[in-house]
Amino acid sequence: MSILVDEKTRLLVQGITGGEGSFQTQRIIEYGTKVVAGVTPGKGGTQILGVNVFDTVAAAANETAANASIIFVPAAFAADAILEAADAGIPLVVCITEGIPVSDMVMVHAYLKDKPTRLIGPNCPGVISPGKCKAGLMVGDIHLPGNVGVVSRSGTLTYEAVAQLTSLGIGQSTCVGIGGDMLPGSTFVDILQLFQKDEDTEAVVLIGEIGGTLEQQAAEFIKEKMTKPVVAFVAGATAPPGRRMGHAGAIISGSSGRAQEKIAALAAAGATMAPTNPAVIGLTMKKVLDEINGN
């Protein structure tokens, strides 16, 4: 099994005719994902990469039975694209776009509150269930099908952790980049809940970073509800307070946002902490799995 995406995913691409949209759609198709439609207002009735383009998400969903959307729409229009997908009843929306104003995301969160649509992102690398479906930017070749889930705020560190796991022969069930913005559509807890329920996910790698309290919330869930081992790493231990480090959400505005606070919370909750060097995330997971299997 896997979470969020699998062989049954029927993906539509919002912004498919743009430069980034068409480039990434080609790679998504090459990975084997079923891309059933594209959406670009004003270009309905055309084709790109062999995919039919529609003017609206509603029309695309009605015609193709799409059940997931990935968004490559400029930041100024991305919030509207998310809402359009939700209005069309798309159950999973993956928003790659970065730079969406926080005020727009506040509105999106309020709008999605009572709707069945799950949002991943924005400002994220997407989701992949290795060997089954890719809805994101990641290079498919570094992934290996298996039983370790990965959830991360950092796209780059996701790739690094996955490459380490694969090199050690440790496959992944699903890898989810929740994004580095201040208001992600899905939190660590949201994804950990899915991994906890997934029969084929035996352990989880969690990669956090400075800023906010998402890691502390994850720690509470791990302590109270998680029965599967979690290996955690928190980036930004040397970041100075008040200075944003890369992601919009990676800024320390209080003691709770510091890496040390997050590391302490996760460790106290029972997560196995990878040392401050991200190069040993894979080896840390291998050690945990070896102990479970009696090796």
- Largest interatomic CA distance in the chain: 60
Q: Tens of pLDDT along 196-214?
A: 999 999 999 999 998 889 9
**225, pLDDT greater than 70:** yes
Nearest to 119 by CA among 164, 75, 85: 85
Q: Tens of pLDDT along 18-72?
A: 999 999 999 999 999 999 999 999 999 999 999 999 999 999 999 999 999 999 9
This prediction has a pTM of 0.93
Centre a 10 Å sphere on the Cβ of residue 270 and count the other Cβ atoms it contains. 12
Who contacts 278 (Cβ-Cβ below 8 Å, separation ≥6)?
Answer: 157, 160, 161, 207, 233, 235
What tokens appear for 62 in the block?
A: 């009605």
Q: Give CA–CA dist 80/3, Å, rounded.
A: 26
Nearest to 3 by CA among 101, 118, 87: 118
Supply angle C-alpha 97, 101, 103, rounded to 5. 135
Among the ranges given (112-126, 207-221, 248-262), the one the predictor scored with the smallest mean pLDDT: 248-262
What percent of the chain is helix, strand and coil (3-state, nearest 5)? 40, 20, 40
Helix (H) or strand (E) holding 151: strand 145-152
Q: Set out the domains of the chain in order of their start, with CATH numbers.
A: 10-120 (3.40.50.720), 138-293 (3.40.50.261)
Q: Tens of pLDDT along 133-144?
A: 999 999 999 999
Res 119: pLDDT: 98
Q: Is 143 a catalytic residue?
A: no
DSSP state of 142: G
Average pLDDT value for the chain: 93
Nearest to 38 by CA among 8, 30, 46, 128: 46
Res 36: pLDDT: 98
Who contacts 262 (Cβ-Cβ below 8 Å, separation ≥6)?
Answer: 208, 210, 215, 216, 219, 234
Nearest to 156 by CA among 32, 33, 278, 280: 278
Q: How many CA atoms lie within 13 A of 254 on its CB side?
A: 3
Tell me which of 132, 143, 247, 286 is the catalytic residue.
Answer: 247
Res 250: pLDDT: 47
Pairing of strands 118-120, 68-71: unpaired
